[in-house]
Amino acid sequence: MTNCKNVIVDTGCANLSSVKFAIERLGFSATITDDIEQIEAADKVIFPGVGSAKHAMANIIEKDLVETLQNLTQPVLGFCLGMQLMTQSSTEGINSTEGTEDIIIDCLGMIPTKVKSLDAQGNRLPHMGWNTLTTVNEHPVLKGINIDDYFYFVHSYAAPISEYTLASCEYGSKFSAIIGKDNFIGCQFHPERSGALGSKIIKNFLEL
């Protein structure tokens, strides 16, 4: 596995190091980079993210990474905001002293679905904490993952259930916990902060 090049895309957002540490705890290594050549040459690409889609997309455009990321053919795994950025667009609330206003951010579009406000049906938002999967498809990355397994979620926006849903979760309404299309897979939750089961997903991915 030492010859296997794993890259974590530096989107200019925070939480890159926690993803790197999670990979290292499993005995693998990974390089954090925004270098186009290194990203293209990687065997596996991890696309993390925390925070606002507006800032992250602005960073990705500024780093000239849009086409590079869209054209990746090796396995790509997105976490949380990283997953949301793989979709066509993401709705996002912008806070100011005047209150919150929803805007739509164009994303990278590798997985043709759209991230919208989570319809929590009166439950508290953000959806924050450990929640269970309600459906789990057969998928190599989900080997050993079952319905009712707990993962750590922190979000207010979500991808709806669609043909790209690989696992679902419920919080007021059902939404996609994991989406995927071809070589692109995205988790709404944080596998790097989801204990042993989260590590299993990362390990499954790195061993693809």
Is 190 catalytic? The answer is yes
- Residue of 27, 112, 126, 144 that binds other proteins (CB under 8 A): 126
Minimum CB separation of residue 51 from other proteins in Å reads 4
Smallest gap from residue 181 Cβ to other proteins (A): 25
Task: Check binding of 104 to other proteins (CB under 8 A).
Answer: no
Q: Quick one: which segment of 39-47, 111-119, 180-188, 195-203 binds other proteins (CB under 8 A)?
A: 195-203
Query: What is the per-residue binding string for other proteins in 59-78, x denoting contact by CB under 8 A?
Result: --------------------
Q: Is residue 17 near other proteins by the rule CB under 8 A?
A: yes
Does position 173 bind other proteins by CB under 8 A? no
Q: Which two tokens stand for residue 82?
A: 């990283």
* Sign of the alpha-carbon torsion through 190, 9, 109, 125: positive
| Distance between CA atoms of residues 203 and 205, nearest Å | 5
What's the closest the beta carbon of residue 152 comes to other proteins, in angstroms?
6
Report the distance separating Cα 89 and Cα 108, nearest Å.
8
Helix ranges (H only) for the chain are 16-25, 36-41, 53-62, 66-70, 81-85, 195-206
Please say if 169 is a catalytic residue: no
Tell the residue number behind the tokens 């209150």, with chain if given.
Answer: 99
* 24 contacts other proteins (rule: CB under 8 A): yes
- The DSSP bridge partners found for residue 165 are 179
How many chain residues touch other proteins (CB under 8 A)? 45
Q: Cβ of 71: how many Cβ atoms within 10 Å?
A: 9
User: Considering the rule CB under 8 A, would residue 44 count as an interface residue with other proteins?
Assistant: no
Q: Taking CB under 8 A as the criterion, which residues in 128-147 touch other proteins?
A: 128-132
Residue 144 vs residues 28, 179, 196, 202: alpha-carbon distances, Å:
20, 17, 11, 12
When asked if residue 84 is in the footprint of other proteins (CB under 8 A), the reply is no
- Residue 27: phi, psi to the nearest 5? 90, 10
Which of 127, 169, 187, 190 is an active site residue? Answer: 190
Site of tokens 């939480």: 15
Per-residue tokens: 90: 């993401």
Residues that bind other proteins (CB under 8 A): 14-18, 21-22, 24-25, 50-52, 55, 81, 93-97, 99-100, 123-132, 150, 152, 154-156, 171, 190, 192-196, 198-199
Indicate which residues carry an active-site annotation: 80, 190, 192
